[in-house]
Structure 1
């Protein structure tokens, strides 16, 4: 495992290009594009204002930089350094900017969801879509042929389907929700999942023709759905809820096949391995800590725990909105053999479930709250970080804690995998570095 030097960035704006050739980062006004292998700068651009959001086009030929406060989007070309594009939403304001799958159109959402504007980079045309309900309330099919858009008309929720080749409305149908909160296509593009806001537990599944295939509700009169994720194979639909349970629905009956609880106590009969991070002050590198006038570097390692084991938890504040309670993050491994979850009122803990056995197999208990975790894009290997100077990796072979040998003040808040699984971008508050890892589990 090797590490690069640290490079400056702001707002965690670091992303690999989809084809894996480049890595781009933003530092205030500047957009810096580097070669992934040599890390040499191949393109440097200056934006009109500090960048707040940015993204690669799906074909890796363009970069979009959004200056939301100014209502401006700038687009840069990788192949033609002198090519320029500037989009100005003017008085309408700017909430979000997204690429379409063809990499030649950009969707911008105006403030207060007044409209969505479709900008063409090819023929410089502009089109408007009325009645959008959410800031990013749309989703594309995996082949890029259709877009589903959540709308609000006459105090009712609707979904509109657009042909992404001609950008024409092909279908509009009402959905049986009171306050639609999100929508997502299945991996095979045949089913559209729609769900309610957290005030009402309700999940609906529609065909591409607009027919309601199924409706699901786990309980009533309590905070409901927190997150919805399709498995890579499309066979499972994972629904994380405020009741601290993950429910896996199957793709045939749309009924739950298992409920994954996140108990505060792990008993002997559960057959679960609990790994806890143990910190020590005997290392040659890493963060330092002063104790009684002496400076000790801090290193950590995982140690298996005896059962029964009590999982550390935090009591949510009932007076604050969006309480830190329930299953807020759910991620499938690329081969769908594992699923990792985080129960938000147990922020230091990651739960790993074996999908072949439909049971909990591993619990990782960290010293600090987990800020991010991501699966390797090619194999069942999980990387996580906790806002300190360490990188943590888990695979079926075991788990390890690695100190990032960059700077004593460097912290890892966000992780970005390279598409080949050969490198990780470790993104901190003001800097980032690359970690080159072995492709073997």
Structure 2
């Protein structure tokens, strides 16, 4: 694959740029200006002026509207692509503003107040507003079903956590789940077909995950780190390694459920761990039994299926003696960065060390995402900041990316098994099932993240305050 520049650098506020859902436009925000461009010719179609510095933007699902927000000053304003003279402004007021998002039907704006006291639902059609109260304060996102018909909310009343499910066409409460099996509710996740809701407790004395069926309106399975219970068959399966549940994600087809957490290591040992402590379990969606387990171990042992790609730096212009006199940027320009496959075993993986200010925090999985085809799962844990595991869950083998710098983002192509990895530097890494490469980013942008065009042929690279679009060419 190669990257070809399509236009000049675009100034943005803190990575505020994105393609519309239908791929026809892309938006960039710089200071108080919102600019809408055509994705083919990159011509400016609309330019809007926001009342203050733009801190957040989001396209509606129908790509007809885009909202801008200043979170600190609780200002939200909506602009129309079809009718640029129209706009809708709302102010949350004394409740404050934690986050804002679109409803799936693009007819409402949902705002989450400070400390998650309430969710406000603003209608674009009649400008009415309704509220959902007693939202649990530890949640800062909203859990819509993929089909957009329902919203699950965690509410806390007198210290008891429950689930409320609302219909998004009327915003009426349709179901209230009393989660007596859980001591607390620490996470939610809808299945791709919008029928199953995963509800889990992470760090209480009884850590478990409940599978609730909205079709049958009952729990159909319970996964426990010590055992799994199929409520119809009452079968138990032991999981001696997994002691906590941190994150859950579905395969796009819904056939497998990935459950990530830590195992037998003590919480304090997560700071300087050299043993197995990070586990991903794949559960079958029919029996809810474990099919495969992945341990993130610090040593790569012999396995003829596993491939290891390691970053190398080749000094091409400066000798080591002269390199001392030049700055890091010049060294980077004079160096060639490559990725090569390593054949020797065993290979030690770099383990991150926490500084004093981070010692009270718990190391977590910060990347756990399936490819669009569902065959590959990208995994990164904070204990191993420069390593990415790419797990072929069909054939059960691994590819490793061992890089020099901390991985800050990994983005799957929405159309195929093609992954780009970013390390807050002026180059990126590409992985496919066949090989891995290092890609030089022109214009000397320090890349923090990227946005894929829905067709997978364009890439919007995001720096600190710059963005640029590149065309993807397959070789």
TM-score, length basis structure 2 = 0.86
Gaps of 5+ in 1: 284-288
Which among 415, 428, 432 is matched to residue 391 of structure 1?
Answer: 428
Q: How far 1:324 moved relative to its partner?
A: 5.6
Q: Which residue of 2 aligns with 1:430?
A: 465
- Structure 1 residues 437, 290: CA separation in 2 closer, same or farther (over 3 Å shift)? farther
- Equivalence map 1:128-167=2 (5 Å): 128-134=131-137, 135-167=139-171
Say which of 363, 370, 377 aligns to 2:414.
377
Query: What is the aligned partner in structure 1 of residue 83 from structure 2?
Result: 80
Match of 1:229 in 2: 249
TM-aligned CA deviation for residue 327 of structure 1: 2.9
From 186, 205, 218, the counterpart of 1:211: 218
Counterpart of 2:323 in structure 1 is: 291
Helix, strand or coil at the partner of 1:397: coil
The count of residues paired between Structure 1 and Structure 2 equals: 433
Q: Is the 8 A contact 1:156 1:174 kept in 2?
A: no
8 Å CA contact 1:137–1:182 kept in 2: the answer is: no
Check the 8 A contact 1:331/1:339 in 2, yes or no: yes
Residue 449 of structure 2 is matched in structure 1 by: 414
Using the TM superposition, give the Cα deviation of residue 266 of structure 1 relative to its aligned residue in structure 2, in angstroms. 0.9
Taking the aligned partners of 1:338 and 1:47, their CA distance within structure 2 comes to 41
Query: Cα distance 1:10–1:238, how it changes in 2: closer, same or farther (>3 A)?
Result: same
Q: What is aligned with 1:309?
A: 347
Aligned to 2:373: 335
Q: For 1:65 and 1:80, locate their aligned partners in 2 and report how far apart those are by CA, in whole Å.
A: 16
**Correspondence for 1:18 among 18, 21, 30:** 21
- Provide the C-alpha distance between the structure 2 equivalents of 1:326 and 1:164, rounded to a whole number of angstroms: 33
Q: 1:329 to 1:292 in 2, by over 3 A?
A: closer
Rounded Cα–Cα distance in structure 2 between residues aligned with 1:68 and 1:326: 27
| 1:67, distance to aligned residue in structure 2 (A) | 1.1
**Is the CA contact 2:27–2:34 (under 8 Å) kept in the aligned structure 1?**
yes
Match of 1:112, SS state, is helix
Q: Deviations over 1:52-94 (max 9, x none)?
A: 2221000001111121111121111111111111111111101
Q: Could you report, residue by residue, the CA deviation over 1:374-407 in whole angstroms, capped at 9, with x for unpaired residues? A: 1110000011110001121111121111111113
1:79-123 CA deviation, whole Å, 9 max, x = no partner?
111111111111110111111111010111111222111100012
CA separation of 1:290/1:81 partners in 2, compared to 1, >3 Å: closer, same or farther? farther
| Mean CA deviation greater in 17-26 or 200-209 | 200-209
Change (3 A) 1:131 1:26: same
Residue in structure 1 matched with residue 183 of structure 2 by the alignment: 178
1:271 Cα shift?
3.5
TM-score w.r.t. the length of structure 1 is 0.92
Shift of residue 222, structure 1, vs aligned partner: 9.4
User: Of 254, 277, 281, which residue of structure 1 is paired with 2:311?
Assistant: 277
Query: What is the distance in 2 between the residues matched to 1:99 and 1:282?
Result: 50
Partner SS, residue 356 of structure 1: coil
* Comparing 215-224 and 23-32, the one that deviates more: 215-224
Comparing 212-221 and 271-280, the one that deviates more:
212-221
Counterpart position of 2:234:
none
* Post-superposition offset of 1:416: 1.0
Is the contact made by 1:246 and 1:327 (CA closer than 8 Å) also made in structure 2? no
SS of the residue corresponding to residue 442 of structure 2 reads: coil
- CA–CA distance in structure 2, aligned partners of residues 365 and 430 of structure 1: 28
1:279 shift after superposition:
1.1
Could you give the per-residue CA deviations for residues 207-263 of structure 1, whole angstroms, max 9, x where no partner exists?
115412222222599972222111100111111213311111110122221110111
Cα distance, 1:291–1:40 mapped onto 2, change above 3 Å: same
CA distance in 1, matches of 2:83, 2:164: 36
Alignment partners' CA distance in 2, 1:137 and 1:171: 20
1:348 equivalenced with 2:355 (yes/no) = no
Q: 1:36 to 1:290 in 2, by over 3 A?
A: farther
2:301 is the alignment partner of 1:267: yes
